[in-house]
Amino acid sequence: MCIRDSTTMEQYLFVIDYQNDFVDGALGFPGAEQLDEGIAEKIRSYAPGHVIFTRDTHQENYLETREGKLLPVKHCVQGSHGWALYGKTAQALADCGAKGIDKPAFGIDCGDPAVLAVLPERADRIELVGLVSNICVVSNAVVLQSRYPEARIVVDAALTASFDPKLHGEVLDVLEGLQVEVLNRA
C-alpha cells in the first residue's frame, strides 16, 4: 500500500527498467537483485498516482535494430518473461497503481503522445531508481531534467547499479555535474 503524502509539493518516483532481463536474465548481473526490497519500499513511500515505471521494450527483430547491432544481446522482448518487471518491485508497482511507459530506447520520448499522457503536468521533485545506472537511469535523468527544468532531480545511488562498478561511480559523478542530486552515495 502506498503512503499518502500530505504535502502540496508535486513529488514523483520513476522506477527505471527494473525488469527480469536486467536483474537475472539476459543482461542481469550480480547484485541487481539486492535492490528489489529497497525499491519496493521506496515505491510504498510515495503517494498514490506519483509512481511511474519504465520498461525497456523491444520486438523480435531487436538484433536488426541500431541498438541490437551495438548491443547484440536479445533482451526485454515485449511480452516475454525477461520484459516483465522483477520481484517485490513488480508487486509494489501493481499495489500502488503505478503508471508505465514502454520505451524502445534508453530514454523516454517526451514527444510521444502516449508518454505525455503518463507524465505529470508539473513536478517539483523527481527521484529515479532502477537499472542500469550508466545507461537508462542517466538517460532518463537528463530527459526528465529537460522536461521539468525547475524540478529537483534526484537519483538514489543505493537503489541503482551497473554491471560495471567503475562506470557506476563515474556516472554518479556525471549526474552530480549535471546538477542532479545523488543520495546515499557510498
Statement: the pTM of the whole predicted model exceeds 0.85: yes
> What is the average per-residue pLDDT within 12-31?
98
> What is the average per-residue pLDDT within 66-73?
96
pLDDT digits (tens, 9 = 90+) for 176-186: 999 999 999 98
What the block records as the C-alpha cell of 183 is 543520495
Comparing 8-12, 27-31, 146-150, the range with the smallest average pLDDT is 8-12
Say whether pLDDT at 3 is over 70. Answer: no
Give the CA count within 13 Å in the CB-facing half-sphere of 97: 6
What pLDDT is recorded for position 2?
A: 54
Which residues are CB-neighbours of 90 under 8 A, at least 6 positions away?
18, 84
What pLDDT is recorded for position 1?
A: 53
Angstrom distances, CA of residue 115 to CA of 66, 98, 110, 111, 144:
22, 14, 6, 8, 12
Say whether pLDDT at 4 is over 50. Answer: no
What pLDDT is recorded for position 169?
A: 97
What the block records as the C-alpha cell of 55 is 520498461
Mean pLDDT of the chain: 95
Give the pLDDT band (50/70/90) at residue 6.
very low
What pLDDT is recorded for position 186?
A: 82
Residue written as grid cell 520520448: 109
Give the pLDDT band (50/70/90) at residue 7.
low
d(CA 115, CA 127): 18
What pLDDT is recorded for position 41?
A: 98
Q: Determine contact, residues 97/48, Cβ cutoff 8 Å.
A: yes
pLDDT digits (tens, 9 = 90+) for 77-112: 999 999 999 999 999 999 999 999 999 999 999 999
d(CA 129, CA 176): 15
> What is the average per-residue pLDDT within 115-141?
97
Strand (E) or helix (H) holding 40: helix 36-44
Q: Determine contact, residues 99/52, Cβ cutoff 8 Å.
A: yes
